[in-house]
Amino acid sequence: MCTHRRNHTAVFLGVESGQRMLFPFGLFLDHKLGLAYLQSIPIGGPTYVVDAIGDVKEVRNLGRAHIMPSVTLGLGWDLEKHGLPPIRLFGRTQIFWQLPFNTTSLVHFGVLVGVSWRIKGGLN
Amino acid sequence: MKYGIYIGFCLCLCWLLGSCTPEEYKEGDFFYLRNNKADMPVWVRGNIASETLVIYIHGGPGGTSFSRVGLESYELIEDHFGMVYWEQRASGASQGNVSTDELEVSDFVEDLDKLIDLLNHQYNSPSIFLMGHSWGGGLGTEYLLDADRQAKVSGWIEVDGSHNNLLGDSLSVMWVCEKANDFIANGEDIDFWQYALDWYHSHPAILTSDLEHYTFVRKAGGYYVESANSTTYSMDFLLHSPGSLAIAFNALYTLNNVDISTIDLSNRMQDITLPSLIIWGEHDGIIPVPLAQDAYDHLGTPASDKSIILFDQSAHCPQNEEPQKFATAIIDFVNQYK
């Protein structure tokens, strides 16, 4: 989910697949391709429609459905390599497309910063 | 060292999460007008209690009104009246799925009419003025040609507007060629300006989507006398304002799909009898200043209720280049006819 004040909130659900390269001293690099369903909802105020005779009606704006392909590149640090709990810090940049947008596609850029905890026996 | 990494990481997160939205982007009323596959944001700011609204019809086609929010001239106007910043369909921060078939001038006119009905509903029938800049001048003129629509408006302000693109484009080409010859004669960028002259020779009729022409005009100073006066898109604007990267996308999409090069409304403007103010930058290279007199001559408004104000330090955007003079002109006009 991401939100842009007085612009839109986007809720998305999808899958990603990629590769991660781990270095012995803790650094890792990864890249992923993704495909998601995205619902983009205008936010910041009510939405109105005006009919042919000028009557105004407020309507619920549930936004529009979109397809969201994405490419993500990232790097991070595995603290477990330094004797700490199995925590990874990561930063990723993502480019994704919202389509259709005015019958073509609108490109977005994203930055993701996070922490992950590898559960015992989990995959790298 | 171990905990230093944690602390540094947490500080970065706090910085990212703590960067807050400037107050100016939270002010005013904000809502959407939905029409024919477009969700168009409308931002009403300033002195709404004055019961007088000035609708800013932005340029383009495919431009944005939100980038002008915070401009000194508009803030001065906001002290007196409500300013309405409306993002047109497939323009600025508008959202939706508008196809090229839904980008006719009549679609924009219909949107504007619905916007005025919406504002009348929301603000208890205020006095409404239209202020069309550049392409917005053409759109506003087209809107006012209908008597029923004209009756909804108290006054018309055209700012370097495109009510006659056939004439405007030919004057603009002449303006650039004259500048190009001057630059060549002075030994400035000779190769570039010779290329410009050759380009015009091979493109005797220019289209709205001919980006080369805009480049030549910009480089010759036809948009801004001082480039420092131009509207810029800061990171602050992109991250915190209601604007977004869609502004750039919509600009290209709409500019490439709405051809306004054949618009010629001069001979129909006698049907417009509203009080009218014509504002023009004397150094405008994209819609040169003779168009100001053309508008004045063709408007059906009685001479006592129409006037021209020229801005001698401005090119295409007097609201940017001479903000106080611009604001004073608008405030005086609106106060006279509201």
Other residues' Cβ atoms within 10 Å of the Cβ of residue A73 = 14
Task: Tell me the pairing of strands B276-281 and B306-311.
Answer: parallel
Nearest to B62 by CA among B218, B221, B258, B194: B258
What is the per-residue pLDDT for B248?
A: 87
Q: Which tens digit of pLDDT belongs to each residue from A76-109?
A: 999 988 888 889 999 999 999 999 999 999 999 9
Those residues with Cβ within 8 angstroms of residue B150's Cβ, 6 or more apart along the chain or in another chain: B144, B271, B272, B273, B274
pLDDT tier, B255 (very low <50, low <70, confident <90, very high otherwise): confident
Contact B90, B96 (CB under 8 A): yes
Query: Shortest Cα distance from B85 to chain A (angstroms)?
Result: 13
Task: Tell me the pairing of strands B52-57 and B127-133.
Answer: parallel
What share of chain B has pLDDT > 70, as a percent? 94
> Best residue in B32, B35, B44, B103 to probe A by mutation, most A CBs within 10 Å?
B32
What is the per-residue pLDDT for B196?
A: 97
A61·B41 Cβ contact <8 A: no
Give residue B95's Cα distance to chain centre. Answer: 19
Mean pLDDT value of segment A14-28: 94
Which residues in chain A touch residue B30, judged by CB atoms under 8 angstroms apart? 6, 44-45
Query: Shortest Cα distance from B117 to chain A (angstroms)?
Result: 6
Q: Chain B residue closest to A100 (CA)?
A: B97
Q: In what order do the strands lie in the sheet with A8-22?
A: A2-4, A8-22, A27-42, A64-78, A87-101, A104-117
| Number of independent structural domains in chain A | 1
What is the per-residue pLDDT for B233?
A: 73
Among the partner-chain residues B2, B39, B93, the one whose CB lies closest to the CB of A47 is B39
To 10 degrees, what angle do helices B190-202 and B211-219 make?
A: 140
pLDDT surpasses 50 at B167:
yes
Residue B204 lies in a domain: no
pLDDT surpasses 80 at B43:
yes
pLDDT surpasses 90 at A122:
no
Among the partner-chain residues A42, A50, A102, the one whose CB lies closest to the CB of B97 is A102
DSSP bridge pairs for B31: B42
Which segment of A33-47, A78-92, B289-303, B308-322 scores lowest on mean pLDDT? Answer: A78-92
Residue A123 lies in a domain: no
What is the per-residue pLDDT for B17?
A: 47
pLDDT tier, B7 (very low <50, low <70, confident <90, very high otherwise): low
Q: Is A6 on the interface with B (CB under 8 A)?
A: yes
Among the partner-chain residues A48, A104, A115, the one whose CB lies closest to the CB of B118 is A48
B253·A102 Cβ contact <8 A: yes
pLDDT tier, B322 (very low <50, low <70, confident <90, very high otherwise): very high
Query: Shortest Cα distance from B326 to chain A (angstroms)?
Result: 29
Q: Chain B residue closest to A59 (CA)?
A: B34
Query: Shortest Cα distance from B292 to chain A (angstroms)?
Result: 33
B244·A4 Cβ contact <8 A: yes
pLDDT surpasses 50 at B265:
yes
Q: Is B65 on the interface with A (CB under 8 A)?
A: no
Among the partner-chain residues A45, A56, A64, the one whose CB lies closest to the CB of B97 is A64
The span from the CA of B70 to the CA of A6, in Å, is 16
Q: For residue B61, say if its preceding peptide bond is cis, omega within 30 degrees of 0.
A: yes
| Number of independent structural domains in chain B | 1
Kindly report the CATH number assigned to the domain that includes residue B311. Answer: 3.40.50.1820
Question: Distances in Å between the alpha carbon of B134 and those of A108, B92, B271, B285, B287?
Answer: 29, 15, 21, 12, 8
What is the per-residue pLDDT for B18?
A: 46
Residue A124 lies in a domain: no
pLDDT surpasses 90 at B26:
no
Q: Which tens digit of pLDDT belongs to each residue from B53-112?
A: 999 999 989 999 999 999 999 999 999 999 999 999 999 999 999 999 999 999 999 999
A54·B39 Cβ contact <8 A: no
The span from the CA of A36 to the CA of A97, in Å, is 10
The span from the CA of B209 to the CA of B260, in Å, is 9
What is the per-residue pLDDT for A72?
A: 97
Please give the single-letter amino acid code of residue A58.
E
Q: Which tens digit of pLDDT belongs to each residue from A59-72?
A: 999 999 999 999 99
**Domain interval for residue B63:** 23-167+224-337
Query: Shortest Cα distance from A43 to chain B (angstroms)?
Result: 8
**Domain interval for residue A29:** 2-117
Outline where DSSP puts E strands in B120-275. 127-133, 155-159
Phi/psi at A16 (5° precision): -135, 150
Contact B226, B316 (CB under 8 A): no
Nearest to B131 by CA among B141, B145, B122, B118: B141
Query: Shortest Cα distance from B74 to chain A (angstroms)?
Result: 20
Q: Which tens digit of pLDDT belongs to each residue from B189-201?
A: 999 999 999 999 9
What is the per-residue pLDDT for B311?
A: 98
The span from the CA of A88 to the CA of A82, in Å, is 11
Higher per-residue pLDDT: B197 or B7? B197
Contact A56, B118 (CB under 8 A): yes
Which residues in chain B touch residue A109, judged by CB atoms under 8 angstroms apart? 245
What is the pLDDT of chain A when averaged over all its residues?
92
A48·B13 Cβ contact <8 A: no
Give residue B296's Cα distance to chain centre. Answer: 20
Residue A107 lies in a domain: yes
Query: Shortest Cα distance from B154 to chain A (angstroms)?
Result: 18
The span from the CA of B263 to the CA of A20, in Å, is 57
pTM of the model: 0.90
What is the per-residue pLDDT for A94?
A: 95
Other residues' Cβ atoms within 10 Å of the Cβ of residue A33 = 12
Residue with tokens 């600025």: B92
Question: Distances in Å between the alpha carbon of B160 and those of A29, B82, B136?
Answer: 53, 22, 9
Which residues in chain B touch residue A107, judged by CB atoms under 8 angstroms apart? 245, 249
Q: For residue A42, say if its preceding peptide bond is cis, omega within 30 degrees of 0.
A: no
> Best residue in A8, A9, A38, A50 to probe B by mutation, most B CBs within 10 Å?
A50
Residue A65 lies in a domain: yes
What is the per-residue pLDDT for B8?
A: 57
Residue B2 burial class via C-beta count within 10 angstroms: exposed 0-12, middle 13-18, buried 19 and up:
exposed
Phi/psi at A26 (5° precision): 115, -25
pLDDT surpasses 60 at B5:
no
Nearest to B166 by CA among B281, B255, B271, B259: B259
What share of chain B has pLDDT > 90, as a percent? 79
Secondary structure string (H, E, C) spanning chain A: CEEECCCEEEEEEEEEEEEEEECCCCEEEEEEEEEEEEEEEECCCCEEEECCCCCEEEECCCCEEEEEEEEEEEEEEEHHHHCCCCEEEEEEEEEEEEEEECCEEEEEEEEEEEEEECCCCCCC
